[in-house]
Amino acid sequence: QVQLQESGPGLVKPSETLSLTCTVPGDSIRSYLWSWIRQPPGKGLQWIGYLSYSGSTNYNPSLKSRVTISMDTSKTQFSLKLSSVTAADTAVYYCARENTALEAIDYWGQGTLVTVSS
Amino acid sequence: QSVLTQPPSVSAAPGQKVTISCSGSSSNIGHNYVSWYQHLPGTAPKLLIYDNTKRPSGIPDRFSGSKSGTSATLGITGLQTGDEADYYCGTWDNSLRVFGTGTKVIVL
């Protein structure tokens, strides 16, 4: 069982930058894509983007201008930064592992609620 | 915003069967594998089906998937109270990950 865990502030002020981190199993990081997905209250899942071990990224066009997904140098955590947030960015944020061999997301974190409010 | 359309809800009595449809287009379902996810509130979503029809280890054969053209279907037989959850289909669309609108399964 692969455990993914999101961490970061649960409250962010409007116009500021939302920052979250996901801890991943160190021995598996090379073979997968590492994704962020969110779910606004009462709505469905929205894909934010992914990062590969090589450092390449792919972002949802609707968020691309505000999103950065990166990996730390230890290769045991990857992070999400979403700038200039508004109330519309309030959501449960999930980190997840995209398994290209399965063409599916095979593991998700529990999710963390981030509220944008002053 | 979702490019994949699912019914908002389906319902059936315990022991019965439900099917959930996922309708897309040639740019997504028509040319890519479909996966299905079960999401209980407050928990991590769980992969139920990948490659249109395959079940990961540990997923009971009560769950099945199929795909035809630009649509996919998830079937759940022998419905249990523990199956009451939200279900999402997912696939790729021009290299972007997309999800369905989500379907709530209600066990009567």
Measured between CA atoms, how close is A96 to chain B, in angstroms? 9
CB B76 within 8 A of CB B63: yes
Q: What is the mean pLDDT of residues A91-106?
A: 95
Of B44, B47, B102, the CB nearest to A104: B47
What local confidence, expressed as pLDDT, does residue A53 receive? 82
What local confidence, expressed as pLDDT, does residue A71 receive? 87
> A58 at the B interface (CB within 8 A)?
yes
CB B87 within 8 A of CB B20: yes
CB A2 within 8 A of CB A28: yes
For chain B, give the percent of residues with pLDDT over 70: 99
Q: What is the mean pLDDT of residues A3-8?
A: 93
Q: How many Cβ atoms from other residues are within 10 Å of residue A64's Cβ?
A: 13
Question: Contacts of residue A35 in chain B, CB cutoff 8 Å?
Answer: 97
Distance separating alpha carbons of residues A12 and B6, to the nearest angstrom? 32
Question: Contacts of residue B45 in chain A, CB cutoff 8 Å?
Answer: 45, 94, 105, 108
Q: Do A58 and B99 touch (CB under 8 A)?
A: no
Measured between CA atoms, how close is B6 to chain A, in angstroms? 11
Measured between CA atoms, how close is A116 to chain B, in angstroms? 19
Q: What is the mean pLDDT of residues A44-67?
A: 94
CB A22 within 8 A of CB A79: yes
Q: What is the mean pLDDT of residues A48-68?
A: 94
Q: What is the mean pLDDT of residues A58-77?
A: 90
Mean pLDDT of chain B: 96
What local confidence, expressed as pLDDT, does residue A26 receive? 66
Q: What is the mean pLDDT of residues A57-84?
A: 92
What local confidence, expressed as pLDDT, does residue B1 receive? 62
The strand pair at B9-12 and B18-23 is best described as unpaired
> A95 at the B interface (CB within 8 A)?
no
What local confidence, expressed as pLDDT, does residue A12 receive? 97
Question: Contacts of residue B92 in chain A, CB cutoff 8 Å?
Answer: 103
Q: What is the mean pLDDT of residues A37-49?
A: 95
Chain B positions touching chain A (beta carbons under 8 Å)? 1-2, 32-33, 35, 37, 39, 42-47, 50-51, 54, 56, 88, 90, 92, 95-102
> A1 at the B interface (CB within 8 A)?
no
Distance separating alpha carbons of residues A69 and A60, to the nearest angstrom? 12
